[in-house]
Structure 1
Amino acid sequence: MSIINLRSGSLFLRLSTMGGSILGFWKDDGKHRVPLLRDAPDDADALSSSCYPLVPFGNRVRDNRFEFAGQEFRFSANTSWDPHYLHGEGWQSEWAVEEQADEHVVLGFSHRGEGTPYIYRARQQFSLKDGALELKLSVQNDGSKPLPFGLGWHPYFPMTPQTTLLAPARTFWTEVEGWLPGEATELPADLDFRRPSPLPHRWVNNGFQDWSGEAVISWPEWDTQLHLTADPLFRHAFIFVSDTAFDPQFRRDYFCFEPMSHLANGHNMPDLGGLQVLQPGQQLSGSIRLRPQAIEHTNVL
């Protein structure tokens, strides 16, 4: 495992090759240091990190199985606490440094189908430029058969008492037993982020379909907001707010807003839920950008 630091102007980024994870992203102007993702120690695993990649797709597949092109495929669970194969392998793998500079690094790893039918190569690029962090993720089908692929990220954002989220989406997915998606329905009032709104004081583990590709996280206490923009590939998002029943250590100090190219359990949907079929040798890639700004205050006369 290696720790990598990038800096550009007032922006700082700290990475780990374990899980291809971010350990911290800050803005520091010399007077104030604002965490734009939650801080994580150098020895953090992905679940304790600031952000980790979802590849060759994110979330879960019902019953760890799906049918594609007349063939059944199965997965094996990859954690001790969830019976489902979860989030692919990127978050549990050691990534190799392929390129490195002061403001830019590229990590990569390959997987050859243990516990999963997927054989692939992934690359993740981190760049600090023009006052923003750009993340680019790609996956290439290195197997001999076409399969549906997807991409995403799992960032952990600080949550303060005044934090709000703006993230317009059209459709909400309920949650059923096994942390699986249930059905598509209208947005609940306390999870309608078409206007800036606080995160509810309850468990949230849901998908949001037809997300606009733009989100704004505001921390009024810090006079800071973070603009997240995503390529059109990322048409969906997932929101997670933990609770003390799931995590006794939870202090309501973070939440997750996860840009995704597909819906959870897309493998078992007629249209694949946004997953894209890659032929052998084909590649899928996409980027998101995180740009901090000061909150603009309107003077009322």
Structure 2
Amino acid sequence: MAVLGLKVGSLSLRVSTAGGLIVGFWKDDKNGRVPLLRDAPAEADALSSSCYPLVPFGNRVKGNRFAFDGQEYHFSPNTDWDPHYLHGEGWQSEWSLDEQADDRVVMSFAQQPGGHTPYTYRAKQTFMLTDDGLELTLSVENAGEKALPFGLGWHPYFPLTPETTLLAPARKFWTEVEGWLPGEATDIPADLDFSEALALPQRWVNNGLEQWSGEATIFWPEHGTKLHLTADPIFRHAFIFVSDTDFDPQFKRDYFCFEPMSHLANSHNLPDLGDLQVLKPGQRLSGSIRLRPQEI
């Protein structure tokens, strides 16, 4: 494992090859250091990190199985607490350090045949820091022998303060059913309608947002700071997560997750593959998001 630090102007970033993680992203201003993602220890695993990649797709597949092109495929659980195969392998893999410069880190890893998944692929992630923000780029290449549906995403943890609000317009909302799986698409409930800046609900939230606009802004009035997130058009959807003490007894309501995704949860079992993209052997899928802090 290698932990690498970047600093450009007032912005600082720390990344780890263990899971391809971000373990800190900050802005220094006249009032001190402002965390733009959840602070994490350098030795953090994905679940205690600031952000981790979702590859070759994010979230869960109902029943750990799907049918594609006349063949049935199976997964097996890759955690000891969830019966589903979850979020691919990137967050649990050691990434190779391909390039390091003052303002950029490039990492990659290759998933070999076998393990918990029928997928064989190569992934690459680039962290680019500028004086006005951070750009993340993630790509996946089908290294297998058959075409399969692929997706991409990130799982960032944002600081949640008493005055935090989120602006993130979307068109549809997916309910949650047993097993932390998506249920059905419906109208967005009032307390999760982020078409205008809104505080995060004081309850468990674990839902997909369909046809997200590709832009989100998080406001931290206590710090006089907001963070503008923009995503490439490939990221048409997002997932929002607010934990609770039933799920995590240590939860202190100090973070929430807003996860840009190229596809819906359980996309493999939706009629149109939920915006997963079919990659033939050797084909690639790539996309970027940008995180830019600004003063309020």
TM-score class normalised by the smaller sequence: over 0.9
Match of 2:132 in 1: 131
Alignment-mate amino acid for residue 108 of structure 1: S
- SS of 1:206's partner is strand
2:235 is the alignment partner of 1:245: no
Shift of 1:85: 0.1
Q: 2-side partners of 1:55 and 1:65: how far apart?
A: 17
Match of 1:271 in 2: 272
- SS of 2:240's partner is strand
Alignment-mate amino acid for residue 237 of structure 2: H
Q: 1-side partners of 2:127 and 2:158: how far apart?
A: 18
Give TM-score, length-normalised by structure 2. 0.99
Match of 1:298 in 2: none
Shift of 1:218: 0.2
Match of 1:35 in 2: 35
Match of 1:77 in 2: 77
Match of 2:281 in 1: 280
Match of 1:299 in 2: none
Shift of 1:232: 0.1
Match of 1:99 in 2: 99
- SS of 1:13's partner is strand
Say which is worse superposed, 25-34 or 141-150, in terms of deviation. Answer: 25-34
Match of 2:292 in 1: 291
> Does the aligned pair in 1 maintain the 2:108–2:123 contact within 8 Å?
yes
Match of 1:260 in 2: 261
The superposition leaves residues 178-226 of structure 1 with CA deviations (integer Å, 9 ceiling, x where unpaired) of 0000000000000000000000000000000000000000000000000
Hey, which bits of structure 1, 4+ residues long, moved more than 3 A? none
> Does the aligned pair in 1 maintain the 2:229–2:291 contact within 8 Å?
yes
Alignment-mate amino acid for residue 229 of structure 2: L
- SS of 1:40's partner is coil
Match of 1:142 in 2: 143
Instruction: Give the share of equivalent positions with the same residue, in percent.
Output: 74
2:154 is the alignment partner of 1:153: yes
The superposition leaves residues 14-45 of structure 1 with CA deviations (integer Å, 9 ceiling, x where unpaired) of 01100000000000136421000000001110
Distance 1:68 1:112, change over 3 A: same
Q: 2-side partners of 1:246 and 1:252: how far apart?
A: 12
Match of 1:202 in 2: 203
Q: 1-side partners of 2:43 and 2:101: how far apart?
A: 23
- SS of 1:221's partner is helix
Q: 1-side partners of 2:42 and 2:222: how far apart?
A: 27
User: Unaligned regions of 5+ residues in structure 1, if any?
Assistant: 296-301
> Does the aligned pair in 1 maintain the 2:64–2:75 contact within 8 Å?
yes
Q: 2-side partners of 1:218 and 1:132: how far apart?
A: 16
Shift of 1:66: 0.1
> Does the aligned pair in 1 maintain the 2:9–2:131 contact within 8 Å?
no
Match of 2:182 in 1: 181
Q: 2-side partners of 1:137 and 1:43: how far apart?
A: 22
Match of 2:110 in 1: 110
Q: 2-side partners of 1:123 and 1:69: how far apart?
A: 27
Give TM-score, length-normalised by structure 1. 0.97
Alignment-mate amino acid for residue 104 of structure 2: H
Distance 1:16 1:115, change over 3 A: same
Please show how residues 49-64 of structure 1 align to structure 2 within 5 Å: 49-64=49-64
- SS of 2:37's partner is coil
> Does the aligned pair in 1 maintain the 2:10–2:131 contact within 8 Å?
no
The superposition leaves residues 103-132 of structure 1 with CA deviations (integer Å, 9 ceiling, x where unpaired) of 101000000132211000000000012411
Please show how residues 196-235 of structure 1 align to structure 2 within 5 Å: 196-235=197-236
2:193 is the alignment partner of 1:192: yes
Q: 2-side partners of 1:27 and 1:53: how far apart?
A: 22
Q: 1-side partners of 2:82 and 2:94: how far apart?
A: 21
- SS of 1:126's partner is strand
Q: 1-side partners of 2:106 and 2:67: how far apart?
A: 34
Alignment-mate amino acid for residue 15 of structure 1: V
Q: 1-side partners of 2:15 and 2:175: how far apart?
A: 34
Q: 1-side partners of 2:237 and 2:65: how far apart?
A: 22
Q: 2-side partners of 1:11 and 1:62: how far apart?
A: 40
User: Unaligned regions of 5+ residues in structure 2, if any?
Assistant: none
Q: 2-side partners of 1:158 and 1:130: how far apart?
A: 21
- SS of 1:153's partner is strand
Report the aligned-residue RMSD: 0.6
